Amino acid sequence: MKKYNIGLVGVGAVGSEMIKVLKERNFPCGKVQVFASRERDEKILGETYHVLPATEDSFAGLDIVLFAGKTDVAIRLKDAVVKAGAKMIDNSRAFRQDPDVPLVVPQVNAEDLDWNKGVIANPNCTTAIMLEAVAPLHRAKRLRRLIASTYQAASGAGAPGLAELEEQMREHVEGRQPTVKAFQHQLVGNLIPHIDKFDETNWYTLEELKMRNEARKMLHAPELMVSCTSVRVPIARAHSESLNLEFEEDVTPEEAREILRGAEGVKLVDDPLNGGYPMPLDATDKYDVLAGRIRQDISRNDRKGLDMFVSGDQLLRGAALNAVEIAEHLVKRGLV
């Protein structure tokens, strides 16, 4: 089997998860070279990697470079990766709305990989989790409108967000005033309906607007109506979403369940009488998006609306796993 030399830019939570997934899925790796802001030895998942500075001269001899770092780093190094002949799979927001860059979840739109020009973008984690469950329904019944409320874990804000939640939990138990640094307000015992900056023209946050813009691009549905409210919740890991869906065609909960039973990347968890429904605790460290609480929208007088609830591990399903699956599909389609 041919081996592929892999580069990884960024050694934070998502970068470490990418290395874990490459190993778990037995990706045919040759050399794996890790890059960051400075040279050092870094222990990742029990193995020591010699980390090199990420520069324009870093990528010769690499086939695929996974970016798990900051947006400005991805922008600065993009041309160097392409010039070196490698494929760049970027987890930042840098290129998601670039018309020359495919934005891909393989189970949703793997065919878009065929027109890549050397760069492929990973969507925002909430979009990736949502579309795993929504895209199969869209293909069958044609989605027209989507209302989403997201319940996003502290680790979605990176290692500082998770560390702050853990520190606040200790402080709360000990009766001390919680320390607030990473978030706008105390998170423990609270919910914060504010993730990313506000767009002062419509007062949605950028996190909420990503759901609309990315869903439209990936589903090739530029007129899709989407409204989202994003909420930070005191959960360590895994995002959840409440979705209200309107379709062009009639659809019943039974039809939706049957579609999702056969959908790759989705696990149907819909047995509410016996406590069977998606929860972030059950989605943590799992590849699949959990989908359930599927029911007819009773606010309508037709059969074109459904409500459902999904949970997915945003570091894994929404980021690292998706990046590795893109790499797998590049290999499968002979694009690298």
Q: What is the pLDDT of residue 267?
A: 98
Q: What is the pLDDT of residue 5?
A: 98
Instruction: Choose the catalytic residue: 29, 125, 194, 220.
Output: 125
Taking 90 as the threshold, does the pLDDT of residue 310 lie above it? yes
113-123 mean pLDDT: 98
Q: What percent of the chain has pLDDT over 70?
A: 100
Taking 90 as the threshold, does the pLDDT of residue 240 lie above it? yes
Taking 90 as the threshold, does the pLDDT of residue 1 lie above it? no
User: How far apart, in whole angstroms, are the C-alpha atoms of residue 22 and residue 37?
Assistant: 22
Q: What is the pLDDT of residue 46?
A: 87
pLDDT tens per residue across span 18-55? 999 999 999 999 999 999 999 999 998 889 999 999 99
Give yes or no: 228 in active site.
no
Q: How confident is the model at residue 265 (pLDDT cuts 50, 70, 90)?
A: very high
Q: What is the pLDDT of residue 190?
A: 98
3-state secondary structure the chain: CCCEEEEEECCCHHHHHHHHHHHHCCCCEEEEEEEECCCEEEEECCEEEEEEECCCCCCCCCCEEEECCCHHHHHHHHHHHHHCCCEEEECCCCCCCCCCCCECCHHHHHHHHHHCCCEEECCCHHHHHHHHHHHHHHHHHCEEEEEEEEEECHHHHCHHHHHHHHHHHHHHHCCCCCCCCCCCCCCCCCCECCCCCECCCCCCEHHHHHHHHHHHHHCCCCCCEEEEEEEECCCCCCEEEEEEEEECCCCCHHHHHHHHHCCCCEEECCEHHHCECCCHHHHCCCCCEEEEEEEECCCCCCCCEEEEEEEECCCHHHHHHHHHHHHHHHHHCCCC
Give yes or no: 172 in active site.
no
Instruction: Choose the catalytic residue: 138, 228, 239, 329.
Output: 239
164-178 mean pLDDT: 97
89-96 mean pLDDT: 97
Q: What is the pLDDT of residue 45?
A: 86
Q: What is the pLDDT of residue 227?
A: 98
Q: What is the pLDDT of residue 52?
A: 96
Taking 90 as the threshold, does the pLDDT of residue 11 lie above it? no
Q: How confident is the model at residue 206 (pLDDT cuts 50, 70, 90)?
A: very high
Strands 266-268 and 239-247: unpaired
98-119 mean pLDDT: 98
238-243 mean pLDDT: 98
Q: What is the pLDDT of residue 254?
A: 98
254-276 mean pLDDT: 98
Q: What is the pTM of this model?
A: 0.95
Taking 90 as the threshold, does the pLDDT of residue 159 lie above it? no
Domains of the chain listed by start with CATH number? 4-123+319-332 (3.40.50.720), 127-314 (3.30.360.10)
Q: What is the pLDDT of residue 12?
A: 84
Q: How confident is the model at residue 70 (pLDDT cuts 50, 70, 90)?
A: very high
